[in-house]
Structure 1
Amino acid sequence: MTTFSFEVFPPKTDAGLVQLAEAVAELEQLRPSFVSITYGAGGSSRDRSFETISTVARQGSTMAAHLTCVGQSRADLDDVIDRYLSLGVSHVVALRGDPPEGIDAPYAPHPDGYTSTAELVAAAKARGIEHISVSGYPEKHPQSPSDDHDMAILAEKAAAGADRAITQMCFDTEATIRWIDRVRSAGIDIDIAPGIFPIHSFPAVARFAARCGASMPAEVAERFAGLDDDPDTTAKVGAEFAAQQIARLREHGVRHVHLYTLNRAPLARAVTEQL
């Protein structure tokens, strides 16, 4: 049996929050292990993240709130952790975060901030967060010098107290399987949740994948050829492909997957129905 978690993001408007509440209510019917909520570090984005957590909480969901090092002091992040705890959040997804200028820009830690995800993990654990997920990169982080460097960073995060790695989206399922094998060979004892991104619009997802360093295999592109103006068929093919990815991962012993939903509950439901 495969268990699921779903990722949603804070909408920018009050109307979007209403729509998100409806989407989460639909996702809850699929009995996810948790719903993760992405995080905007500054100003109104930060406030909207807290509003989203409250919205998701009202649906009865088990929540995992994102937490990023970028652009924030240790004191700011400690305050965010404490506020999460006050809202009933006991699971965070701890991330370094991308520079405001984009993923290709050099990363510089806040002068008073945590210098690495491992430091953030240790701080969250010390302040009472029970479960901590971190990121994993089957195709290497775009700014990493090597696969070995990536693996060393993951080992540091696990040693600091992380208990799960959620992978970056990956459309090359065999690459994900090879990465899982490398993690196990490295002796890193951490749960692994492959990140699955159901394709709702091939051009948009392909552009996003390229910015994140995720490859788009030619055979995947061929499935969506000629469908750019046919959203219904695109969604159907996207659900079928995501389900095939999950089925292949299940053959390799994976029992939990994380779906990046883009707040689109019907597409996530279609994936689970395919299974």
Structure 2
Amino acid sequence: MSFPPVSNPLYSVELFPPKTPEGMDKLKLEIARLNALGPAYFSVTYGAGGSTREGTFETVAWLRGLGIETAPHLACIGSSRDEVREILNQYLGQGIRRLVALRGDMPSGMGAGNSGDFRYANDLVSFVRAEFGDAFQIEVAAYPEYHPQSGSPARDLENFKRKVEAGADGAITQYFYNADAYFAFVESCRKEGIEVPIIPGIMPITNYTQLARFSDTCGAEIPRWVRRRLEGYGDDVESIRAFGHEVVQRLCRELLAGGAPGLHFYTMNQSGPVQALWRELGLSD
């Protein structure tokens, strides 16, 4: 199933905070190239238990200093209400009005007793709404192929519905390479009365080994035919990237033609693959 194309799709990009000053210098160059495309906003990730907290703050502050629309990730696991309130007040002071609210992962070595004041992402969304009203546009995560810890598709959908009912304005999905999975998920949501925009997350394919490792961890499926083709290229990086670009471009076209309300690109801090997709898809037209 697909849906009528939308009139004003939203296109955004995601970054992760670098760990070194040299990495930050490189990221600034990549941001300049990505910003020239005119994305609606940049999202900035937040490591397990706030492990990249300072890097996230530094990256967000730099983006806002340039007047770039920014949506920081805020992962609540391991955090107290006071800590989250302080972060959100800081973001308000920087003119930030969009958040990506997540449960996040438990950092290695942290026991369940140290998980903080929030157990699930819907608890965080409820807290933001109670404390700050409509000051923030809140995006949450969605999983067309189902979160690996959810136990079942039905339970995963229930979890997503709780986040929306808590006050989420929209969702960004985990990446996937099967458009049918996305459209089936959206159809299931609509049957449950979930009407918020659900924007597909897009992961360019540039490194098969890395992609396979990510996918095995997060539950994102690489279709068998794509896996076999990528495996067949071995160490031929140029062929992997050319084939990967073809696969992802076709996926994006299918999603937009089928009514997806936009695309959110997981850049992995590399502007080149996203620039090529953006141009060929005509997203700036």
The TM-score normalised by the length of structure 1 is 0.92
Q: How many Å separate the matches in 2 of 1:48 and 1:14?
A: 10
Q: Does 1:4 align with 2:16?
A: no
Pair 1:122 & 2:117 matched: no
Partner of 1:164: 170
* Alpha-carbon offset, residue 158 of structure 1: 0.9
Q: 1:2 and 1:126 mapped to 2: Cα distance?
A: 30
Whether the 8 Å contact between 1:17 and 1:55 is mirrored in structure 2 is no
**Cα distance 1:226–1:111, how it changes in 2: closer, same or farther (>3 A)?**
closer
Alignment partner of 1:80 is 2:87: yes
Q: Which amino acid aligns with 2:275?
A: R
Alignment partners' CA distance in 2, 1:86 and 1:214:
36
Give the structure, 1 or 2, with the largest relative contact order (CA under 8 Å, sep 6 or more). 2
1:54 paired with 2:56, answer no
For structure 1, the residue ranges without an aligned partner over 5 or more in a row are none
Q: Is the 8 A contact 2:49 2:106 kept in 1?
A: no
- Maintained 8 Å contact 2:76/2:118: yes
Does residue 268 (structure 1) correspond to residue 274 (structure 2)? The answer is: yes
Which of residues 232, 239, 243 is equivalent to 1:237?
243
| 1:69/1:61 CA distance change after superposition, 3 Å | same
TM-score by length of 2: 0.89
The aligned length equals 272
Instruction: Give the percent of matched residue pairs that are identical in Structure 1 and Structure 2.
Output: 37
Counterpart for residue 52 of structure 2: 45
Secondary structure of 1:198's counterpart equals: coil
Instruction: Give the corresponding residue for 1:14.
Output: 21
Equivalences for residues 205-220 of structure 1 within 5 A: 205-220=211-226
Give the 3-state SS of the residue equivalent to 1:168 in structure 2. strand
Structure 2: give runs of 5+ residues left out of the alignment: 1-7
* Coordinate RMSD, CA, aligned: 2.1
Name the amino acid aligned to 2:143. Y
Aligned residue number for residue 179 of structure 2: 173
Q: Which residue of 2 aligns with 1:199?
A: 205
Q: CA deviation at 1:205?
A: 0.3
SS of the counterpart of 1:125? helix
* Contact 2:77–2:116 under 8 Å retained in 1: no
Q: Give the match for residue 101 of structure 1.
A: 108
What is the distance in 1 between the residues matched to 2:86 and 2:206?
37
